[in-house]
Amino acid sequence: MCGIVGVVGKPARDIILNGLTNLEYRGYDSAGMYLNDLNGNEYLTKAVGRISNLKEKLTPDEQGLVGIGHTRWATHGKPTVDNAHPHFDETKRFYLVHNGVIENYVELKEKYLQGVKFHSNTDTEVVVQLIGKIAREKNLDGFSAFKEALKLVKGSYAFLLVDNTEPDHVLLQRISHQ
């Protein structure tokens, strides 16, 4: 179980921190956030442990009008900074947070992502790397690449995705198989 927060159009940092604080009961192994100020500045901050550890790592300069955040209860991969969300694809075009379990992440990694350098041991990074690869290979916009990638993903999940070529919005997908 994890908590995810996305913000568009307002100073995002404090809203995300407040949201993550309210969702901390859903995961306290690690936390992280990605912010984009829409002027070419991006900030990715991650910490092991509680939200207070994330707050300590943030600097006053880390602000943004778009952002996503995550508080993690580790299900795939140990509680480390590398395994903390948000995760990014190899070109750092896409940033993703995720709540849920991707049942076929090993299959996706082996079938579609050979040769990709991974920074974590999470199912989430497999999905964001897949989105990035599909976007590059098919020359797709972020929304279309997201849709194509999710056709291959099996599981119950919620995703928030930022595409840095269109950073003024956050894409969301939720699938529940209950």
Sign of CA dihedral 76, 155, 51, 17: positive
pLDDT of 177 reads 62
CA 70 to chain centre: 7
Q: Tell me what the mean pLDDT of segment 17-44 comes to.
A: 92
Alpha carbon separation from 9 to 38, 141, 152, 154 (Å, rounded)? 10, 21, 31, 32
Q: pTM of the prediction?
A: 0.94
* CATH level 2 (architecture), domain 3-175: 4-Layer Sandwich (3.60)
**What band does 129 get if pLDDT is binned at 50, 70 and 90?**
very high
Half-sphere exposure of residue 56: CA atoms within 13 angstroms, side-chain side: 7
The residue-averaged pLDDT of 41-47 equals 97
How far apart CA 163 and CA 128 sit, in angstroms, is 10
Q: Encoding tokens for residue 42?
A: 């991006």
Per-residue pLDDT at 77: 72
pLDDT, tens only, 50-106: 999 999 999 999 999 999 999 988 777 788 999 999 999 999 999 999 999 899 999
Name the pLDDT band for 10 (thresholds 50, 70, 90): confident
Q: What is the pLDDT of residues 134-174, one digit of tens each?
A: 999 999 999 999 999 999 999 999 999 999 999 999 999 99
pLDDT of residue 78: 83
Q: What is the mean pLDDT of the chain?
A: 93
Q: Is the pLDDT of residue 178 over 60?
A: no
Distance CA 134, CA 141 (A): 10
In 3D, which of 1, 21, 159, 176 has the Cα closest to residue 74? 1
Strand order, beta sheet including 171-175: 87-88, 94-102, 155-163, 171-175
Residue with tokens 């994330």: 54
